[in-house]
Structure 1
């Protein structure tokens, strides 16, 4: 009996050690599993956070463009008047004049430009007559006209016809360098003065005219004259500066007059006449 007790007593420590080691292994496994779960949970949270931030970023971009498109459409709708920005219309105005003046100044001959503008003016006049006579046809192109027409132009000819006619008359009637100055002035100074006047105009100096808009017209016309004349003539620097200042000044003064004629006609023709006079007085060869 004593021997059996000793045997049992001698075997118990080994079992206890085995039991303790297995429990330790189990605890280690549980700790490892809990760490893995925590790591997986943290990784999932990071992914969700990154996904949320990315979604929020793209949502903000989408909201920004939606607001910009809405504002652009509102400013460019057929309910717009000359007091609205109408960026689409002004960009169209700017690009057409700039392309015509640049092509005439650098690439095309006088005869080629006259033929091209004559064709364009005729087509525009025909399109305008169809638009006014057949509103059901014009309605199919509402998506395009919304960006270009003002409210009053829904029932009368748009400014596209006098604009194209003014370009043609300017090129037909005046020397090349003078015509280029006049067309660039129409393309750049007119929309720039309108944009600055609408956005920042606070001091009215005439009906529908502000000091800020007129200053923008003067500065833009001055820059146009200097650029065209300096790239056309070698020398004559003092004469070019004087001519540019006088053309910009007198053109800005005429632009302020309350004339009931489309400014797409009055601006290029008056600027061309003024530039012709001062170029001749300064002795610049035309």
Structure 2
């Protein structure tokens, strides 16, 4: 999903996919905040392993690929027939974030992608006028920053109020800025991988300072 495509080359809006993005982000936060850490690691690693197995097997059989694409049709893009599915990249990203041992870094990576990305895509498609790089718009990118900031702030206030006000603001600013910049520059790397990884890594670094 992209942060606001300019109007001459829009990608069709997929409401089911956007809802799946949001749900995945929320589930990621809840998993990080309530589950024991062995489970936080086990869930994405198991999913990623399963998804990569499916990626390999569907390359071996067109019929199997067709079956999977039909099953995931409500949330899949047509180009994913030939490319690695976004869910595979997302599960892989969360697997890496689980290695940080930080619920906030894990949750921030999940929620920034889950809420910031679809919100920015929606605004960019409908109202985007100022073109940036990689077919993104200024309106979409600014939406990403605002929504991601508020999403991470919500996570911090609900589960990490032990942080000082300055530290809260630093985490939210770093997460939203890193996520938006990563989305803006992601071209060859799937942003369902790059956004959670970069966002989570930046939050982990801020917390470590």
RMSD: 2.3
1:146 to 46, 49, 73: 73
Matched, 1:194 2:117: no
Tell me the distance in 2 between the aligned counterparts of 1:246 and 1:115: 27
Q: State the Cα deviation string for residues 4-54 of structure 1 (Å, max 9, x = none).
A: xxxxxxxxxxxxxxxxxxxxxxxxxxxxxxxxxxxxxxxxxxxxxxxxxxx
Q: State the Cα deviation string for residues 187-229 of structure 1 (Å, max 9, x = none).
A: 1111221122112212112221111111111011111221122
Equivalence for 1:279: 207
TM-score, structure 2 normalization? 0.84
Q: Higher relative contact order at CA 8 Å, sep ≥6: structure 1 or structure 2?
A: 2
TM-score, structure 1 normalization? 0.63
- Whether the 8 Å contact between 1:225 and 1:244 is mirrored in structure 2 is yes
Q: How many residues align?
A: 200
User: Which protein shows a greater Rg?
Assistant: 1
- Whether the 8 Å contact between 1:174 and 1:272 is mirrored in structure 2 is no
2:16 to 64, 88, 104: 88
1:162 to 80, 89, 98: 89
Moved more, 134-143 or 116-125: 134-143
C-alpha displacement of 1:263: 0.9
Equivalence for 1:129: 56
Moved more, 207-216 or 81-90: 81-90
Kindly indicate which of the two structures has a greater share of residues assigned to helix.
1
Q: State the Cα deviation string for residues 231-284 of structure 1 (Å, max 9, x = none).
A: 212361243124323432343233322542111121111112222233344xxx
Tell me the distance in 2 between the aligned counterparts of 1:123 and 1:258: 25
Matched, 1:173 2:78: no
Equivalence for 1:236: 164
- Whether the 8 Å contact between 2:112 and 2:175 is mirrored in structure 1 is no
Any gaps of 5 or more consecutive residues in structure 1? 1-80, 282-286
Change over 3 Å in CA distance of 1:157–1:243 after alignment to 2? closer
- Whether the 8 Å contact between 1:82 and 1:150 is mirrored in structure 2 is no
C-alpha displacement of 1:83: 1.6
Tell me the distance in 2 between the aligned counterparts of 1:128 and 1:134: 11
2:138 to 203, 211, 219: 211
- Whether the 8 Å contact between 1:193 and 1:213 is mirrored in structure 2 is yes
Any gaps of 5 or more consecutive residues in structure 2? 1-8
1:103 to 14, 28, 31: 31
Equivalence for 2:173: 245
